[in-house]
């Protein structure tokens, strides 16, 4: 596999300058056109304003790219047929010459291969509700258990089984810390209702943990920095609870299963909250990207 690292990103890595990896599924599959491209450019600008280099990741014509130029971003945002790629799909996409946007697992893997240590996203995948029946668990968790990268996120998507996901992360040996909080964020919500064991309060503290990971020479697992969306920007908790319950009932009634469940539930939330869930989602992503850039700067300064 030929990993295509942009000149800007390669120069920053070689010079030990801060770099932040960004996924591309939010561009291709998470937002409507033309807002998707506007958000992609905005997130890269947030990284740059914090003094770091953005490295948006995607696969184009079978070649994994770490760092996209504007034309490539436009292609991911506007081209029909852009696939959604997890890390398991990468060899298939490379061999077939396919183009695709990368999920958390594929982004984390390609970022780590390129030498990028910090990655910002919205919410992680996790253990799905009714796991005992469906055995449905995101590939994000297993990949993060064996990939040395720091992921800044707003917890896991609230449509998932949050406590089961936290238990699974513990079993897999993935470190989780709340950023400025002892509560695990709930993606659209500042608090999922579940605690975390560790709290970090500054980018420098996060960088210290990253250095400790390396010095201990333990398993190549990730560090998850769970950064809550600001309370004033979260989705109204009562609205969230009511609409999510309705969405779960609708999902069951319509017989939606497998990979179709997540997009069905997320779309239901957007439509039945009049877009408020999407607004909270974007607020969380912006905050995560900003924090990730500051963490990358603290890591590079070591």
State the DSSP string of 96-117. Answer: HT--EEE-HHHHHHHHHHHT--
Q: Are residues 58 and 32 in the same domain?
A: yes
- The CATH number of the domain holding residue 35 is 3.40.1790.10
pLDDT at 130: 67
pLDDT at 299: 98
Q: Are residues 245 and 266 in the same domain?
A: yes
Q: Which of 44, 50, 137, 157 is catalytic?
A: 157
Q: Are residues 95 and 144 in the same domain?
A: no
Of 116, 136, 155, which residue sits at a domain end?
A: 116
Q: Are residues 138 and 262 in the same domain?
A: yes
Q: Are residues 239 and 302 in the same domain?
A: yes
* CA–CA distances in Å: residue 173 to residues 134, 143, 157, 169, 223: 23, 12, 20, 6, 10
Q: Are residues 268 and 180 in the same domain?
A: yes
Of 71, 98, 116, which residue sits at a domain end?
A: 116
C-alpha to C-alpha distance for 142 and 144, rounded to whole angstroms = 5
CB atoms within 10 A of CB 142: 16
Q: Are residues 174 and 143 in the same domain?
A: yes
C-alpha to C-alpha distance for 51 and 141, rounded to whole angstroms = 30
Q: Are residues 134 and 207 in the same domain?
A: yes
pLDDT at 257: 78
What backbone phi and psi angles, to 5 degrees, belong to 15? -90, 5
C-alpha to C-alpha distance for 27 and 100, rounded to whole angstroms = 11
Q: Are residues 11 and 81 in the same domain?
A: yes
Quote the tokens at residue 131. 């796991």
pTM of the complete model:
0.95
In the chain, beta strands by DSSP E: 4-5, 19-22, 53-60, 63-66, 83-85, 100-102, 118-120, 150-153, 175-179, 183-186, 189-195, 199-200, 223-226
pLDDT at 182: 98
pLDDT at 124: 94
Q: Are residues 153 and 288 in the same domain?
A: yes
Known catalytic membership, residue 157 = yes
Q: Which of 23, 44, 50, 137 is catalytic?
A: 23
240-246: long-range contacts (C-beta < 8 A, 24 or more apart)? 240/158, 240/188, 240/189, 240/269, 240/273, 240/277, 243/268, 243/269, 243/272, 243/273, 243/277, 244/158, 244/159, 244/269, 246/272
Residue 63's domain spans which residues?
1-116
Let me know if 302 is exposed, middle or buried by CB neighbors in 10 A (0-12, 13-18, 19+).
Answer: exposed
Q: For each of the chain's 302 residues, which pLDDT tens digit applies?
A: 689 999 999 999 999 999 999 999 999 998 889 999 999 999 999 999 999 999 999 999 999 999 999 999 999 999 999 999 999 999 999 999 999 999 999 999 999 999 999 999 999 988 877 665 566 778 899 999 999 999 999 999 888 899 999 999 999 999 999 999 999 999 999 999 999 999 999 999 999 999 999 999 899 999 999 999 999 999 999 999 999 999 999 998 999 877 677 788 889 999 999 999 999 999 999 999 999 999 999 999 97
Of 99, 116, 133, which residue sits at a domain end?
A: 116
Buried b (16+ CB within 10 A) or exposed e, 192-211: beeebeeebeebebbbebbe
Q: Within 13 Å of residue 53, how many CA atoms lie on the same side as its CB?
A: 25
Q: Are residues 156 and 290 in the same domain?
A: yes
Closest to 119 in 3D by CA, of 188, 24, 185: 24
Query: What's the domain count of the chain?
Result: 2
* CA–CA distances in Å: residue 71 to residues 37, 74, 182: 11, 5, 42
C-alpha to C-alpha distance for 189 and 281, rounded to whole angstroms = 9
């Amino acid at each position: 596999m030929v990993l295509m690292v942009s000149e800007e990103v390669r120069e920053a890595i070689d010079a030990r300058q801060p770099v932040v990896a960004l996924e591309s599924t939010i561009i291709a599959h998470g937002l409507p056109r033309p807002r998707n491209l506007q958000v992609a450019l905005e997130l890269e600008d947030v990284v740059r304003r914090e003094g770091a280099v953005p490295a948006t990741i995607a696969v184009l014509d079978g070649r994994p790219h770490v760092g996209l130029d504007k034309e490539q971003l436009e292609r991911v945002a506007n081209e029909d047929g852009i696939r959604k790629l997890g890390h398991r799909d990468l060899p298939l996409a490379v061999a077939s010459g396919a183009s695709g946007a990368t999920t958390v697992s594929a982004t984390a893997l390609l970022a780590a291969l390129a030498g990028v240590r910090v990655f910002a996203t919205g919410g992680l995948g996790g253990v799905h509700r009714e796991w005992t029946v469906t055995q449905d668990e995101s590939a994000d968790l297993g990949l993060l258990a064996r990939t040395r990268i720091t992921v800044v996120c707003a917890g896991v998507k609230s449509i998932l089984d949050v406590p089961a996901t936290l238990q699974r992360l513990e079993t897999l040996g993935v470190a989780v810390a709340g950023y400025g909080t002892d509560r695990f964020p709930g993606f659209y919500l500042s608090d999922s209702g579940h605690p975390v064991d560790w709290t970090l309060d500054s980018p420098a503290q996060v960088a210290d943990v990253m250095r400790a990971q390396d010095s201990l020479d333990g398993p190549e697992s990730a560090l998850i920095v769970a950064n809550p969306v600001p309370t004033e920007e979260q989705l109204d908790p009562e609205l969230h609870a009511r609409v999510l319950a309705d969405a779960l009932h609708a999902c069951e009634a319509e017989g939606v299963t497998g990979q179709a469940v997540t997009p069905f539930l997320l779309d239901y939330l957007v439509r039945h909250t009049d877009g408020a869930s999407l607004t909270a989602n974007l607020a969380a992503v912006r905050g995560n990207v900003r924090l990730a850039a500051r963490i990358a700067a603290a890591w590079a300064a070591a």
